[in-house]
Protein backbone atom coordinates (compact mmCIF):
# COMPACT_ATOMS: atom_id res chain seq x y z
CA UNK A 1 0.00 0.00 0.00
CA UNK A 2 1.25 3.47 -0.87
CA UNK A 3 0.06 6.55 0.98
CA UNK A 4 -0.49 9.77 -0.99
CA UNK A 5 2.10 12.32 0.09
CA UNK A 6 1.88 16.07 -0.19
CA UNK A 7 4.25 18.57 -1.69
CA UNK A 8 5.54 19.72 1.73
CA UNK A 9 6.82 16.22 2.48
CA UNK A 10 8.39 15.97 -0.98
CA UNK A 11 10.07 19.36 -0.41
CA UNK A 12 11.36 18.13 2.96
CA UNK A 13 12.80 14.95 1.42
CA UNK A 14 14.55 16.86 -1.39
CA UNK A 15 15.95 19.49 0.97
CA UNK A 16 17.12 16.82 3.44
CA UNK A 17 18.94 14.90 0.71
CA UNK A 18 20.64 18.00 -0.67
CA UNK A 19 21.48 19.16 2.87
CA UNK A 20 23.65 16.06 3.28
CA UNK A 21 25.44 16.56 -0.06
CA UNK A 22 24.95 18.31 -3.39
CA UNK A 23 23.15 16.07 -5.87
CA UNK A 24 22.21 16.03 -9.54
CA UNK A 25 18.66 15.42 -10.76
CA UNK A 26 18.82 11.71 -11.57
CA UNK A 27 20.57 10.94 -8.28
CA UNK A 28 17.95 12.94 -6.37
CA UNK A 29 15.17 11.11 -8.18
CA UNK A 30 16.65 7.73 -7.23
CA UNK A 31 17.02 8.72 -3.58
CA UNK A 32 13.49 10.13 -3.32
CA UNK A 33 12.06 7.09 -5.16
CA UNK A 34 13.56 4.87 -2.46
CA UNK A 35 10.99 6.30 -0.01
CA UNK A 36 8.07 7.50 -2.18
CA UNK A 37 6.56 6.74 -5.54
CA UNK A 38 7.43 9.68 -7.82
CA UNK A 39 8.72 10.08 -11.36
CA UNK A 40 11.48 12.25 -12.74
CA UNK A 41 8.82 14.37 -14.42
CA UNK A 42 7.35 15.06 -10.96
CA UNK A 43 10.67 15.92 -9.35
CA UNK A 44 12.04 18.47 -11.81
CA UNK A 45 9.19 20.99 -11.30
CA UNK A 46 9.77 20.62 -7.53
CA UNK A 47 13.46 21.39 -8.00
CA UNK A 48 12.62 24.47 -10.10
CA UNK A 49 10.12 25.67 -7.50
CA UNK A 50 12.61 25.21 -4.66
CA UNK A 51 15.23 27.03 -6.70
CA UNK A 52 12.82 29.90 -7.45
CA UNK A 53 12.07 30.18 -3.71
CA UNK A 54 15.85 30.51 -3.07
CA UNK A 55 15.97 27.22 -1.16
CA UNK A 56 18.30 25.66 -3.75
CA UNK A 57 20.99 26.90 -6.10
CA UNK A 58 22.56 25.06 -9.01
CA UNK A 59 25.95 24.69 -10.60
CA UNK A 60 27.18 22.60 -13.53
CA UNK A 61 30.01 20.12 -13.36
CA UNK A 62 31.55 18.20 -16.29
CA UNK A 63 30.89 14.46 -16.32
CA UNK A 64 31.91 12.16 -19.20
CA UNK A 65 32.00 15.00 -21.71
CA UNK A 66 28.69 16.54 -20.61
CA UNK A 67 27.63 18.87 -17.85
CA UNK A 68 25.63 17.66 -14.88
CA UNK A 69 23.50 20.18 -13.02
CA UNK A 70 23.99 19.87 -9.28
CA UNK A 71 21.59 21.21 -6.68
CA UNK A 72 22.89 22.78 -3.50
CA UNK A 73 20.88 23.91 -0.46
CA UNK A 74 20.97 27.58 0.55
CA UNK A 75 20.79 29.05 4.04
CA UNK A 76 17.10 29.85 3.40
CA UNK A 77 16.69 26.21 2.35
CA UNK A 78 18.16 25.02 5.64
CA UNK A 79 15.79 27.27 7.56
CA UNK A 80 12.85 25.92 5.53
CA UNK A 81 14.03 22.35 6.12
CA UNK A 82 14.17 22.90 9.89
CA UNK A 83 10.59 24.22 9.82
CA UNK A 84 9.41 21.29 7.72
CA UNK A 85 11.11 18.84 10.09
CA UNK A 86 9.32 20.39 13.07
CA UNK A 87 5.98 20.18 11.24
CA UNK A 88 6.74 16.55 10.28
CA UNK A 89 7.45 15.57 13.88
CA UNK A 90 4.09 16.94 15.05
CA UNK A 91 2.23 15.41 12.08
CA UNK A 92 3.94 12.04 12.59
CA UNK A 93 3.18 12.10 16.31
CA UNK A 94 -0.51 12.83 15.69
CA UNK A 95 -0.82 10.12 13.02
CA UNK A 96 0.91 7.63 15.35
CA UNK A 97 -1.57 8.57 18.09
CA UNK A 98 -4.54 7.94 15.83
CA UNK A 99 -3.19 4.68 14.44
CA UNK A 100 -1.50 3.33 17.56
CA UNK A 101 -3.35 5.09 20.36
CA UNK A 102 -2.15 7.97 22.48
CA UNK A 103 -2.75 11.62 23.14
CA UNK A 104 -2.92 14.09 20.27
CA UNK A 105 -1.02 17.37 20.30
CA UNK A 106 -3.26 20.37 19.70
- Residue-wise pLDDT for 77-93, tens only, equals 999 999 999 999 998 89
Say how far apart CA 54 and CA 92 lie, in whole Å.
27
CB 15 within 8 A of CB 57: no
Q: Which of 5, 4, 3, 7 is nearest to 80 (CA)?
A: 7
Confidence of residue 53 (pLDDT cuts 50, 70, 90): very high
Q: Work out the number of other CB atoms within 10 angstroms of the CB of residue 71.
A: 23
Angle at 85 between CA 80 and CA 86, to 5 degrees: 100
The pTM is what? Answer: 0.85
Amino acid sequence: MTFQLGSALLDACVLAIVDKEDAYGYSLTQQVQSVMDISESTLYPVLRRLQKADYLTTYDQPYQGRNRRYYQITEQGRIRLMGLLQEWQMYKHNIDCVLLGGELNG
